[in-house]
């Protein structure tokens, strides 16, 4: 029988295991908090030896093993390439801000959404990450970052709402007072716009921030950039967003990546402003990161500024995202992809 990932289990499930295995209930609390401090049952020194043996025989604690760590000389942004037990790799990024450190975690190995500008989707979806593997990324980054991590954005490789059950487990566990106890107010989840899942999330009334990757103000342009738009068009997406706001009363962040000559015209800005008018919305403008093998280029600084000003003049709040880690190959998915192409080199690196 294969061992089970204990970091993906909720506190309630661990209580049930303690009960069915004949251990007193206070052990659940101890065990749950240990899972977020160590990857080895042997180190759980206040648990009885027989219990540690029972746990080692039946469970494992997933960990994120760093294969590469790049640190930006420009702004201190850190990018990790992590591997998991089966050898699959993802990327995790730590961004340093005045108000604290944020970690951007991945939710899947690869992605099946097929967005035309995105490196993560090249090669498609390999597999979902478990909640434990998502937590392990946070945990490694938290330990490795001076001052720790105070915010989480689920905006790395993958579509989090395409891995819904594991995402919900992750959100449940990170918020549990017996473990990390991080408030959902410090967590953002980004989606390409899976409408049923947005509604499901809305019904849960969590305090997380929802980011919606919009990138174009109408179906014609959005369908060219994001195949998901052929399934859920802009109107359907906005209806799901309105439902989300009605249930949570939380403002939605709309991500809009500016691609030269594609979606950065004044008319696009005006159309976007009209779309978001009277909606609880904030727009994040991001000049597209050029991805190897793709021909999209970022809008120039003037275009970006003009676009922002049109939105502001129409009463839509918007900010231009600062580009972080420009010297370490910023946009997510590229490191994993480069690694796959040069896997031979990496083996050498690992042996050293
Ligand atoms: N699948 C989710 C989360 C991962 S992508 C989503 O689509 O939201 C995180 C964000 O980065 C999204 O807004 C995505 O559209 C954006 N993104 C992807 N590739 C990019 C690139 N090359 N340049 C700028 N932003 C990019």
> Please, which residues have CB within 8 angstroms of residue 20's CB and are 6 or more apart in sequence?
none
What are the residue ranges of helices labelled H in 205-319? 219-225, 228-231, 234-248, 266-276, 301-313
Bridge partners (DSSP) of residue 209 are: 188
Please, what are the averages of pLDDT over each run of 10 residues along the chain (352 residues)?
A: 92 97 96 95 96 97 96 92 96 93 97 95 95 98 97 97 98 97 98 98 98 98 98 98 98 97 98 98 94 90 97 97 73 67 36 24
Q: Is the CB of 213 under 6 A from ligand 1?
A: yes
Looking at the domain that runs over 65-345, which CATH code has it been given?
A: 3.20.20.70
Q: Cα of 59 to ligand 1 centre, how many Å?
A: 35
Q: Cα of 162 to ligand 1 centre, how many Å?
A: 14
> What pLDDT, on the 0 to 100 scale, is given for residue 347?
28
Strand pairing of 89-97 and 108-110?
unpaired
Smallest CA-to-CA distance from 139 within 224, 89, 80, 99 is with 80
DSSP state, 196?
Answer: H
DSSP state, 214?
Answer: -
Q: Which structure tokens are listed for 175?
A: 């918020």
Nearest atom within ligand 1 for CA of residue 298: 23
- Provide the whole-model pTM: 0.93
Domains of the chain by residue range: 4-60, 65-345
Smallest CA-to-CA distance from 205 within 184, 191, 176, 190 is with 184
- The structural architecture, per CATH, of the domain 4-60 is Orthogonal Bundle (1.10)
Q: Is the CB of 107 under 6 A from ligand 1?
A: no
Q: Is the CB of 133 under 6 A from ligand 1?
A: no
Strand pairing of 100-104 and 89-97?
antiparallel
Length of the chain equals 352
What distance, in Å, lies between the first and last C-alpha atoms of the chain?
Answer: 34
């Amino acid at each position: 029988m294969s061992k089970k990932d204990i970091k993906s289990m909720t506190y309630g499930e661990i209580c049930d295991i303690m009960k069915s295995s004949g251990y007193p209930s206070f052990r659940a609390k101890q065990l749950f908090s240990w899972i977020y401090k160590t990857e080895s049952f042997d180190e759980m020194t206040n648990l009885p030896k027989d219990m540690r043996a029972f746990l080692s025989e039946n469970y494992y604690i997933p960990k994120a093993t760093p294969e590469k760590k790049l640190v930006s000389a420009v702004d201190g942004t850190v990018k990790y390439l992590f591997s998991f037990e089966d050898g699959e790799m993802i990327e995790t990024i730590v961004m340093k801000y005045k108000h604290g450190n944020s970690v951007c975690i991945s939710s899947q190995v690869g992605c099946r959404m097929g967005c035309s500008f995105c490196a993560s989707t090249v090669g498609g979806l390999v597999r979902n990450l478990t909640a434990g593997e998502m937590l392990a990324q946070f945990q490694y980054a938290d330990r490795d970052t001076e001052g720790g991590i105070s915010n989480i954005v689920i905006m790395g490789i993958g579509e989090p709402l395409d891995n819904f059950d594991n995402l919900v487990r992750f959100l449940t566990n990170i918020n549990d007072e017996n473990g990390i106890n991080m408030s959902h107010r410090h967590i953002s989840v980004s989606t390409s716009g899976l409408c049923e899942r947005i509604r499901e999330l809305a019904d849960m009334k969590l305090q997380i921030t929802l980011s919606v990757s919009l990138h174009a103000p109408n179906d014609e342009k959005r369908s060219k950039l994001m195949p998901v738009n052929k399934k859920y068009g802009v109107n359907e997406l906005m209806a799901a967003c309105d439902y989300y706001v009605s249930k949570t009363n939380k403002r939605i962040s709309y991500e809009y990546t500016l691609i030269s000559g594609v979606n950065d015209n004044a008319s696009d800005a005006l159309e976007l402003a009209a779309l978001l008018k009277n909606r609880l919305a904030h727009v994040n403008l991001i000049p597209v990161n050029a991805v190897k093998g793709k021909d999209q280029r970022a809008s120039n600084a003037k275009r970006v500024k003009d676009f922002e000003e049109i939105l502001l003049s129409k009463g839509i709040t918007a900010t231009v995202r600062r580009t972080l880690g420009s010297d370490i190959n910023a946009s997510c998915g590229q490191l994993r992809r480069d690694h796959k192409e040069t896997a031979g080199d990496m083996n050498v690196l690992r042996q050293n």
